[in-house]
Amino acid sequence: MEFMLELDDIQHYLLTRPHATIAQYNFITFKSAEAGRNWIKDLSDIVGNAKFVMAASDKDMRWVSLALTFNGLRKLGVEETHLASFPEPFRQGMAARAQMLGDTGVNHPDNWEDKITSEDLHAVVILFAKDKAERERCIKKHDEYIKDNPGVEILSSLLIEAVPPFDYVHEHFGYRDRLTTPVIEGMGIEATPGSHAPSKPGEFFLGYPDDTGLMPAQPQPEVLSKNGSFLGYRKMREHVGAFRDFLKANGKTIEEQELVAAKLMGRWRKTGAPLVLCPEKDDRELGFDDKRNNNFDYEKMDPHGYACPVGSHIRRMNVRDKTVSRIMNRRLIIRRGGTYGPYLPDDAPDDGANRGIAVFGGCADLARQFEFLISVWANDPEFEELNERDPFAGSIDGAFEMTIPKRPIKKKVKGVNAFTTVTGGAYFFLPGIKALKYLALLK
Amino acid sequence: MTDNQWASPQALAIPKEGYFKKEDGRYGPIFPQTPANYGFTIIVKVLPGREQAIREYGKTIEAAVKGAPNVLAPLKLHYLRWVLFDVGSGLHFMYQGIFDTDFDKYLEDAIALFNSTGVTTVFTNLEGWPEDWKTNVPAVTKFFRDHQCPSFLEYGEYPYVSADEIKKALQLKASFSKMLDFMQ
């Protein structure tokens, strides 16, 4: 039986990708329950539901999403018995689970930014805007609003903005992004060839059967959990200078450097064409052909990783082999986010500026989906006996090393420093619209 | 594994808790790798009158693995042992596994695979098995953890060697034999 999602009650955030070019995350604290409830009440009218945003036109200029931490729910007055029904990772928060996730050394929460580990972090409001002018208008409006409501304060903000060149979606290292995203049953979208079969709604939204075909137990009360999702937030600083130095140290020509960059990712940097299908040379047409750019496996097509290294990002984070995982469909997350910090032109030396990605991973079960991806596939050195972590998503403390299978013997590529550092993280609950109204009216 | 560590047999005495230093995984304390690799020993009392049902599952699982030999591959197993015994306090079921990954990491994989091969169904014959086991991973995890009896001593003749390494060594040996044939 197919369960239809209640699109008019689900926040649009995980279901749509509006034509925004720019965003801001405001991390919020409530000085009092009443102030928090009033803020939610006022904002809940402008939080876009999926049905509305999907039907929207090009004229729409801004999209608002709102999510809460466990401390936020408690501050708003959710009953203790209800709070206890929320899953343990969410109750504990991401920082408390750093050791397990692999966030140690320089990646430890003690070093995280934006006051993200503060006990007083209660909510995040995510604002997407069509352009800079609209973002500034909205931010100003929200700032004015906050000024009139002294019980609600902004702990920190993060500006999200695409970096040039704008002809393809990418992060600061220049890798093309958004090539794979889960498809949900009943949404009328077909999975592209080679992608995972459509997921049951309960893999991402509470109150629906998940891929077991059954309805998992939900946090209480139902009005609060129904149509909600959990978000795992990660902020990762990207050391663009270190990355470019690494490419230069491991490749004599531009072509060789591009090949090394592709080996780390498993796809060619500018087109996303998969190495399994074009191991020697980039193929732009293939990269931009959705019918082909996910249509491959490793088990049969590249068992030893001669094309796509076993330790490359896409081979670790989205395993396609049944011998590695038979429940990949239960590990999926829907990623949303973008780049922050200034663009570093190709020929410019590293200016030391803070730049990177700030991403929310949406799912129904933080432990089974988000935490598994981070703790095992990104950070488990024992993964496939590689003794290394994911080159990008892994929390690498110190020098970077990766094995590239090659005949007659494998090659190790080394960098003086890791290319990324985890600089923030938190768990949020993204409630449905009715749940927001329920929270606003709590006594 | 460090070079040649496998060549020197090792024994390791383990504290009562089952670990040297408490380190949490997603679902609770992680039990350390020993010279005999990772593993668990789960001992549970059998519900009255269910012995035959459990014994019959031996055949079900034999057939499942025969039909799809790689079905349990993601779990990186060496061995599974299933034992029924009664030392006067009723029939007990012992399930012992030796594998190459920490149990906590691949727990959902294990539960899904046990479900699909029929392994889990056998647990419905045991005391305390959660009724909502098909959807409630934390409850199944708690059941395994509650009934886990950590070893106080483990020994490895070829310590810390993974099943993959053993299979690769055997494959290499077979390939060399073939090469020698071609050299004739």
Shortest Cα–Cα distance, B184 to chain A (Å): 24
Q: What pLDDT sits at residue A21?
A: 77
Q: How far is residue A399 CA from its own chain's centroid? A: 25
Q: Would you say residue B109 has pLDDT above 60? A: yes
User: Residue A382 and residue B25: Cβ atoms within 8 Å?
Assistant: no
Q: Does B73 touch chain A (CB under 8 A)?
A: yes
Which tens digit of pLDDT belongs to each residue from B121-157?
789 999 999 988 887 878 888 899 899 999 999 999 9
Q: What pLDDT sits at residue A3?
A: 66
Q: What pLDDT sits at residue A1?
A: 53
Q: Does B137 touch chain A (CB under 8 A)?
A: yes
Count other C-beta atoms under 10 Å from residue A144's C-beta.
10
Shortest Cα–Cα distance, B42 to chain A (Å): 23
Average pLDDT, chain B: 90
Q: Would you say residue A61 has pLDDT above 80? A: no
User: Residue A326 and residue B112: Cβ atoms within 8 Å?
Assistant: yes
User: Residue B135 and residue A214: Cβ atoms within 8 Å?
Assistant: yes
Q: What is the mean pLDDT of residues A100-110?
A: 95
Q: Would you say residue A59 has pLDDT above 70? A: no
Give yes or no for a contact between B34 and B9, defined as CB atoms under 8 angstroms apart. Answer: no
> Which uninterrupted H or E stretch holds A66?
strand A62-68
Shortest Cα–Cα distance, B74 to chain A (Å): 5
Q: Among A325, A366, A384, pick the best mutation site for testing chain B contact (most B Cβ within 10 A).
A: A325
Q: Does A324 touch chain B (CB under 8 A)?
A: yes
Q: Would you say residue B1 has pLDDT above 70? A: no
Q: Does B134 touch chain A (CB under 8 A)?
A: yes
* pLDDT confidence tier of residue A20, bands split at 50, 70 and 90: confident
User: Residue B134 and residue A214: Cβ atoms within 8 Å?
Assistant: yes
* DSSP secondary structure letters along B8-56: S-EEEE--TTS-SS--B-SSSBPPPPBTTBEEEEEEEEBPTT-HHHHHH
Q: What pLDDT sits at residue B2?
A: 60
Q: Would you say residue B70 has pLDDT above 90? A: no
Question: Among candidates A12, A3, A6, A5, which has minimal Cα distance to A52?
Answer: A12
Question: Is the pLDDT higher at B43 or at B121?
Answer: B43
User: Residue A376 and residue B105: Cβ atoms within 8 Å?
Assistant: yes
Which tens digit of pLDDT belongs to each residue from A370-391?
999 999 999 998 888 888 999 9
Q: Would you say residue B5 has pLDDT above 90? A: no
Q: What pLDDT sits at residue A63?
A: 85
- How far is it, in rounded angstroms, from Cα A291 to Cα A230? 31
Q: Which residue of B has its CA nearest to A324?
A: B74
Average pLDDT, chain A: 92
A389-393, A435-439, B26-30, B59-63: range with highest mean pLDDT: A435-439
Q: How much is the ipTM here? A: 0.87
Q: Would you say residue A60 has pLDDT above 80? A: no
- For A115, residues 6+ apart whose C-beta sits below 8 A from its C-beta are A27, A121, A155, A156
Q: Which residues of A touch B106 (CB under 8 A)?
A: 376
Q: What pLDDT sits at residue A48?
A: 85
Count other C-beta atoms under 10 Å from residue A44's C-beta.
19
* pLDDT confidence tier of residue A2, bands split at 50, 70 and 90: low
